Amino acid sequence: MQVHRFTPLLVYLSHLWTLLLLVSGHPQHGPCQLIQRSALCNSRRLSSVPAGLPDNIEELQLNYNHIQTLQQDSLQFYPSLHTLSLACNSLATLQSNTFQDSRLLENLNVANNNLHTSYQETSKALQTLPRLRVLDLSVNRLDDEMAATFLQNLTSLEYLNLSGNLLQRLDETSFRDLHKLKELDLQRNIMFEIDGAFDNNPKLQRLNLAFNYLPCLIDFHMTQLVVLNASHNFIEWFISRSDMNDTFQLETLDLSDNRLLFFPFLPNQSHLKNLYLSHNSLRFYQHMVENDTILNSTSTVEFYNLEKYSKSNVTAQLWDENLHGDISSVEILDLKANQVEYLPRGFIQKMPSLSRLKMCTNCLESLNFTSEEFSASLYELDVSNNRLNEIAADEGTLALLGNLTYFNLSLNDLSWLPSGLFSSLTSLRSVDLSYNSIDICRPGEAETSTDFFSACVDWKDVVSLRQLYLKGCTLENIPQSAFSGLSLTHLDLSDNPGLIVKESLCGLSRTLQHLGLGNTNITDFDFSHFQSLKFLNISRNSLTHLPSSILNLDLKVLDLRDNKLFTIPSAQANTLAPRLHTVFLRGNPFNCCLTEWFRTFETIDMVERSDIECEDFLSRTHRVERFNYALCLEEGGESKYWLILLIVPLCLFFVIVSIIFLITWKPEILQKSIKKKCLKPTSY
């Protein structure tokens, strides 16, 4: 607020300053802001490079202007320039001598322009920059030939951005002269072929090929590459060259959103840490090799390279799981949304540093911690949305998983779990067991089960546990001691219709911040003890009125969707509004004439605001936002509608009847009255 008050003064002062500068003989900087040796002239509707800036400026930013041609002499006064940024103009040409005096220019950004129009001339201008290190040519409608022309002889280039152009195929001539290139961004082109394109770029470390049309990456042999992003293509095969002894420097490989059927054939030796493979059609085929009934189908696939430059044909032994390559440094493995039915024997053991395994949305049927031997650094394990009906683990194995913090088992078919599963995991912070048919152990029940499996879960003594999600577990009676000894901050029990919680939540009243009781049929729960509660979901519970026990809480988010509320009394709304940030109200049969709360809540975020509806006296549905409140009486539920609907037809009826009466029975009166009103009397 205060800033606003001072703005006029600041403007005035800055005018005064400019005036003083003029008077004292300093050059006017026109539309630009000067910060040390940088001139910032962005979004100033300029159509040319401003003259008159200090001649020692080193950086000039002219983004978001209307410059169409960079003239010969535009930059002649700024010989010290090493960074020039002209993104988002309508730049069509850089005249060939533009940079004759800009020998020091290292960084040129001409993204989002029309450089395709006179690329020949522009490329001549680029040839005159002996020190150019960073060049952004993204979004300029450049095709293969134009790009090749631009890049001739740019031997000093280290960072090149060609994203958002029209490149289709690259070959070994495309980047031939860029011997120093370190980073290349080629995302969002229409490339379907890259053949030996990077063989002359021995320093290339980061390559982005995302959002293209590449069908495969075979014969991968860029040992120096650290990050390769080939996500969002149509890649069916990723195959590294296997006859190389060198250690690949690759640390991050992103092949997500492709069409992989096989685990990528990774280099024999690498430092690969982050492997992203989500959204493919990947699975493992080891059991087919071991299976006697396997058909004599092809077990190798060969890629014949028809180009003369190729050094070898690529052959892959499809079913040989050893070809997974070196995964010994992998820390993050993202296999989300694939078709993995099982993990090959020894696969997990090959990753002693594995910290995050994301296997959500696959077809896993069982998980055996004992045989998989997860590493002690495992931190996050997400096996949600699979077909798990069995999890096996012995105590010794579980004791090793001392770093497991996030464990997501939701959306499976689990009805049995290893006894004491959670009690053994000492760092466990968040467990999601939602949508499994799992019950909570009654006192003594867990101890008495002697076998390895237990049909109920307990989390006794898991002092680290903070977040517990038990949605849709067909829970009914929650034992009183269910959460004793825990310091939960999040508990979600939604989608358990008919839930009876009784006293079980009492122990959590101090710590609980986030409570989900949606679709549980809970009507008379006393929330008043939960003084830390910030988020409450009591949607889908047929509530006819707001529980008064929530009024004293310091709630930030309240979900009341799909209940039977017909109003929220003003007193309640006024109490809630100052604290709430967000409220969900859709799907209640609100009375249109009792929507004072809607105006009270205007100050907070009403989610799906325009979808909140109400019913008028005749059970017609309106949007609360649009409803004309004037049609209602000041107080109470009686609607003015009712009156209007009664009175208007009655009045109309009387008027019509009297008119008819007048016309038929007293024509004289009518004539007289007409005559009176006419200026020129007429004779009848």
Which of 65, 83, 95, 242 forms a contact with ligand NAG (CB under 6 A)?
242
Note whether 161 binds ligand NAG by CB under 6 A. Answer: yes
What's the sign of the alpha-carbon dihedral 6, 11, 14, 16?
A: negative
In this complex, which beta carbon is closest to ligand NAG, that of residue 210 or of residue 593?
Answer: 210
Site string for ligand NAG, 431-470 (x = CB under 6 A): -x------------------------------------x-
Footprint (CB under 6 A) of ligand NAG, residues 402-421: 403, 408, 410-411
- Dump strand ranges (E) for 201-299: 206-208, 216-220, 227-229, 237-240, 252-254, 274-276
In this complex, which beta carbon is closest to ligand NAG, that of residue 296 or of residue 298?
Answer: 296
CA dist 339 and 303 (Å) reads 25
Footprint (CB under 6 A) of ligand NAG, residues 367-386: 368, 370-371, 376-377, 379, 384-385
| CB of 89 closer than 8 Å to CB of 67 | yes
Which of 72, 152, 223, 415 forms a contact with ligand NAG (CB under 6 A)?
152
The gap from C-alpha 560 to its chain's centroid, in whole angstroms, comes to 26
Which of 139, 160, 170, 178 forms a contact with ligand NAG (CB under 6 A)?
139
Contacts of 368 (CB under 8 A, 6+ apart): 391, 392, 393
Note whether 362 binds ligand NAG by CB under 6 A. Answer: no
Footprint (CB under 6 A) of ligand NAG, residues 487-526: 497-498, 521
In this complex, which beta carbon is closest to ligand NAG, that of residue 139 or of residue 260?
Answer: 139
In this complex, which beta carbon is closest to ligand NAG, that of residue 322 or of residue 621?
Answer: 322
Which of 163, 174, 280, 537 forms a contact with ligand NAG (CB under 6 A)?
163
| CB of 345 closer than 8 Å to CB of 369 | no
Which of 76, 252, 329, 532 forms a contact with ligand NAG (CB under 6 A)?
252
In this complex, which beta carbon is closest to ligand NAG, that of residue 98 or of residue 408?
Answer: 408
Residue 631 C-beta: closest distance to ligand NAG, Å: 34
Which of 7, 56, 313, 531 forms a contact with ligand NAG (CB under 6 A)?
313
Strand pairing of 83-85 and 59-61?
Answer: parallel
Note whether 43 binds ligand NAG by CB under 6 A. Answer: no
Q: What are residue 54's phi and psi, to 5 degrees? A: -55, 140
Burial call 385-407: b when 16+ CB within 10 Å, e when fewer: bbebebbbbeeebbeebebbbbb
| CB of 250 closer than 8 Å to CB of 270 | yes
Residue 160 C-beta: closest distance to ligand NAG, Å: 9
Number of residues lying near ligand NAG (CB under 6 A): 54
Segment interacting with ligand NAG, rule: CB under 6 A, options 21-29, 365-373, 478-486, 668-676: 365-373
The residue among 297, 303, 304 whose CA lies nearest residue 316 is: 303
Contacts of 392 (CB under 8 A, 6+ apart): 366, 367, 368, 369, 370, 371, 418, 452
CA dist 247 and 249 (Å) reads 6
Measured at the CA of 131, the angle between CA 130 and CA 135, to 5 degrees, comes to 105
Residue 479 C-beta: closest distance to ligand NAG, Å: 19
Note whether 185 binds ligand NAG by CB under 6 A. Answer: yes
In this complex, which beta carbon is closest to ligand NAG, that of residue 324 or of residue 640?
Answer: 324
Residue 512 C-beta: closest distance to ligand NAG, Å: 16
Note whether 573 binds ligand NAG by CB under 6 A. Answer: no
Note whether 479 binds ligand NAG by CB under 6 A. Answer: no
The gap from C-alpha 661 to its chain's centroid, in whole angstroms, comes to 73
Amino acid at 312: S
Bridge partner residues of 606 (DSSP): 583
What residue spans of 353-460 are helical by DSSP H?
369-372, 395-400, 445-448
**Contacts to ligand NAG by CB under 6 A:** 111, 127, 138-139, 152-153, 161, 163-164, 185, 187, 208, 210, 229, 231, 242-245, 252, 254, 268, 276, 287, 290-291, 293, 296, 304, 312-313, 322-323, 355, 360, 368, 370-371, 376-377, 379, 384-385, 392, 403, 408, 410-411, 430, 432, 469, 497-498, 521
